[in-house]
Chain A
């Protein structure tokens, strides 16, 4: 897994609620696009016109957001389908951190598995961030530039606004900071898994007689 420690980058405001993973990446792209090319199709229904040209109203097509590394979204971001390609697509746009009041649970875990840091913040705080980012223009990228520090669990918003504390569940934080491999971590517990399965085979044999 790719490590995430701290990131200073432009943050893009994307203030929509209930953005589902179908909207982030269409299912037919999931099946046949190599992982490293998934970013090309991220948000394609709202990013491109029918002729393939960029739509100006998509946030990443406006300065200073073209270089965004942080995504600030509305509630329930990444709801719906479990497709992990949604995270690959967002990461393929250069986004390494997503901030929202709430997330689809499966999407949230998929982010962590791919070194993308998801941060839950109170809706009022997210709205303040969105308002602040709305002040940034082509010549004022500093008004959209923030620092997210996972070690300190702190966000430094643009323009000297007060720092925002956030919390990430301990195991997920460690995995992100160290770039840990969860399968290797669990395989260290093989003896415990063996013992558990032995007990279960005795207690609930019908589960195993398949």
Chain B
């Protein structure tokens, strides 16, 4: 007997494969293939489960690394504050007791948890990857189904290796054409967020498709998927292809030999079938894409570098008029002015969005042979210990240092400031990270999100500039 199967999306194939039980219509008990743990609360979650008298159900499927609260000053050994070392040690202690693999400070594998997962080969196509961090959507770049969870959900996963979850709808974000010079994955996804807004993806799993997506390297796809949550989508995905398999092959926990062939054969079945139906679609033509930069305090408040900051009077509704004027007030900007030429104080190149080797290479190419403006303090924080070593092997650290940027140790650093590394109140920072929220980089800090190239150019110019003119 042949059963006709309706065409399915990448998302549906992975979701369906992981359903243990339908709890009620629309809500499934999902199996978790990979649980990633970090230093900000995950040790506590393990401790809570232990206090309940429950073992970790599958410690072999857990991977841990300290990232949020580790200091990134060269020569660091832990955190800045005493409480930071307490939390890092709790992650170490709980991981050791439970038999969880931990990549510690100074070891190969340590890094931002969303850099670590793919880098060590833990994140694989077709797996479910969960982590107590909203940027877990990053892992979708490899064709995994990945999303962030809270503290209580984390305990549920530790104790049961499952999570009840409402099935999201699907949104196809289709990027046509090829990227103009000076633009990349960051500009693509900022343009998408500008188009659909900070809530436009809520309740959806996004699949990124189109020639411009296929042309991205895996690191670019990670940047793309990373910002899915900034339009509200917990999940962002790219179908795996030859580039994905090449990128994964040989990594520490990736399958080998006969298992590799078996895995790739399965992974090749994952891309969305022709005729698969999405609940919603957005098309973006990359041909005219400009480098993008945020002007406000939500990632949806974003414009092309050649545009003017919008005036609240032109907002489409009262809610946005209020939001825009509050954002401009906080940012110290005026509507109607060009964004280019705005003076900056700080530059941060790093975070789970843009701290990988190709990001650093592109930034280095911009600053090579130049000098950071005297009034700017610029940091480069590689995403992982391995990236740090590889970048240094290429001499990138020397390029950055010669230009006057600080070359630091891997961690989340100034993206979230959990470790005490902050932008000062009133200071303006061009940042390659993912959130320009009020106070995100420190109380009173003013954040402009942009690509590594744009951030590097701002460091040299001392102001927001169009990297296409570089």
Q: Are A205 and B160 in contact (CB under 8 A)?
A: no
Q: Are A82 and B150 in contact (CB under 8 A)?
A: yes
Q: Are B26 and A196 in contact (CB under 8 A)?
A: no
Q: Are B262 and A22 in contact (CB under 8 A)?
A: no
B420 at the interface (CB under 8 A from A): yes
A103: shortest Cβ distance to chain B, in Å? Answer: 8
A-contact 0/1 string along B312-345, CB 8 Å cutoff: 0000000110110010000000000000000000
Q: Are A22 and B440 in contact (CB under 8 A)?
A: yes
The 8 Å CB contact of A106, one of B54, B69, B134, B162, is B134
Q: Are B29 and A186 in contact (CB under 8 A)?
A: yes
Q: Are A16 and B322 in contact (CB under 8 A)?
A: yes
A30 at the interface (CB under 8 A from B): yes
Residue of A nearest to B253 (CB): A210
A145 at the interface (CB under 8 A from B): no
Q: Which residues on the A side are within 8 Å of B127 (C-beta)?
A: 207
A183 at the interface (CB under 8 A from B): yes
Q: Are A80 and B435 in contact (CB under 8 A)?
A: yes
Task: Tell me the residues in window 173-210 of chain A with beta carbons closer than 8 Å to chain B beta carbons.
Answer: 182-183, 186-187, 189-190, 192-193, 196-197, 200, 204-210
Q: Which among A110, A183, A197, A208 has the highest number of chain B CB atoms within 10 Å?
A: A183
Q: Are A31 and B69 in contact (CB under 8 A)?
A: yes
Q: Which among A22, A31, A170 has the highest number of chain B CB atoms within 10 Å?
A: A31
Knowing A28-B420, A76-B232, A169-B166, say if A193 contacts B149 (CB, 8 Å). no
The 8 Å CB contact of B126, one of A16, A114, A204, is A204
Q: Are A206 and B232 in contact (CB under 8 A)?
A: no
B361 at the interface (CB under 8 A from A): no
B199 at the interface (CB under 8 A from A): yes
Q: Are B255 and A82 in contact (CB under 8 A)?
A: no
Binds A, one of B16-24, B183-191, B273-281, B397-405: B16-24
Q: Are A80 and B437 in contact (CB under 8 A)?
A: yes
Q: Are B83 and A32 in contact (CB under 8 A)?
A: yes
Q: Which residues on the B side are within 8 Å of A74 (C-beta)?
A: 319
Knowing A31-B84, A206-B255, say if A193 contacts B162 (CB, 8 Å). yes
A-contact 0/1 string along B413-428, CB 8 Å cutoff: 0001110100000000
Q: Which residues on the B side are within 8 Å of A192 (C-beta)?
A: 20-21, 29
Complex alpha-carbon distance, A26 and B198, angstroms: 20
Q: Are B266 and A16 in contact (CB under 8 A)?
A: no
Complex alpha-carbon distance, A17 and B437, angstroms: 12
The 8 Å CB contact of A104, one of B124, B126, B202, B418, is B202
A45 at the interface (CB under 8 A from B): yes
Q: Are A23 and B159 in contact (CB under 8 A)?
A: no
Q: Are A171 and B27 in contact (CB under 8 A)?
A: yes
Task: Tell me the residues in window 2-34 of chain B with beta carbons closer than 8 Å to chain A beta carbons.
Answer: 20-21, 23-24, 26-27, 29, 31, 33
Complex alpha-carbon distance, A27 and B262, angstroms: 43
Knowing A76-B232, A207-B124, A210-B253, say if A187 contacts B153 (CB, 8 Å). no
B164 at the interface (CB under 8 A from A): yes
Complex alpha-carbon distance, A192 and B162, angstroms: 11
Residue of A nearest to B21 (CB): A192
B-contact 0/1 string along A11-37, CB 8 Å cutoff: 000011110101100111011100000
B439 at the interface (CB under 8 A from A): yes
A201: shortest Cβ distance to chain B, in Å? Answer: 11
How many residues of B are in contact with the other chain, CB < 8 A? 75
B87 at the interface (CB under 8 A from A): yes
Complex alpha-carbon distance, A87 and B438, angstroms: 18
B353 at the interface (CB under 8 A from A): no
Residue of A nearest to B259 (CB): A206
B211 at the interface (CB under 8 A from A): no
The 8 Å CB contact of B41, one of A26, A30, A208, is A30
Q: Which residues on the A side are within 8 Å of B260 (C-beta)?
A: 206
B207 at the interface (CB under 8 A from A): no
B347 at the interface (CB under 8 A from A): no
B408 at the interface (CB under 8 A from A): no
Q: Are B202 and A102 in contact (CB under 8 A)?
A: yes
Knowing A189-B20, A210-B60, say if A28 contacts B417 (CB, 8 Å). yes
Q: Are B24 and A45 in contact (CB under 8 A)?
A: no
Knowing A28-B418, A31-B87, say if A183 contacts B166 (CB, 8 Å). no
Residue of A nearest to B160 (CB): A186
A20: shortest Cβ distance to chain B, in Å? Answer: 5
The 8 Å CB contact of B323, one of A18, A28, A104, A197, is A18
Q: Are A18 and B300 in contact (CB under 8 A)?
A: yes
A67 at the interface (CB under 8 A from B): no
The 8 Å CB contact of A171, one of B24, B155, B232, is B24
Complex alpha-carbon distance, A206 and B249, angstroms: 13
Q: Are A76 and B437 in contact (CB under 8 A)?
A: no
Knowing A23-B439, A27-B418, A189-B29, say if A16 contacts B323 (CB, 8 Å). yes
B443 at the interface (CB under 8 A from A): yes
Residue of A nearest to B326 (CB): A16
Q: Are B417 and A27 in contact (CB under 8 A)?
A: yes
B461 at the interface (CB under 8 A from A): no
**Additional A-B contacts beyond A74-B319, A76-B199, A82-B132 (18; CB < 8 A):** A17-B320, A17-B323, A18-B300, A30-B41, A31-B40, A45-B438, A45-B443, A80-B437, A82-B149, A84-B152, A105-B202, A105-B234, A106-B150, A110-B151, A169-B26, A171-B27, A186-B29, A189-B20
Residue contacts A-B, CB under 8 angstroms, 18 given:
A17-B323, A18-B198, A20-B435, A23-B437, A28-B420, A30-B41, A76-B202, A80-B435, A83-B150, A106-B134, A110-B153, A171-B164, A182-B152, A189-B29, A193-B57, A193-B162, A208-B60, A209-B255
The interface of chain B, by Cβ under 8 A from chain A, is 20-21, 23-24, 26-27, 29, 31, 33, 40-41, 52, 54, 57-58, 60-61, 69, 81, 83-84, 87, 101, 122, 124, 126-127, 132-134, 148-153, 155-156, 159-162, 164, 166, 198-199, 202-203, 229, 232, 234, 253, 255, 259-260, 262-263, 266, 298, 300, 319-320, 322-323, 326, 416-418, 420, 435, 437-440, 443
Which 9 residue pairs spanning A and B have beta carbons closest together? A206-B255, A113-B152, A84-B151, A110-B150, A76-B199, A84-B150, A82-B134, A82-B148, A27-B418
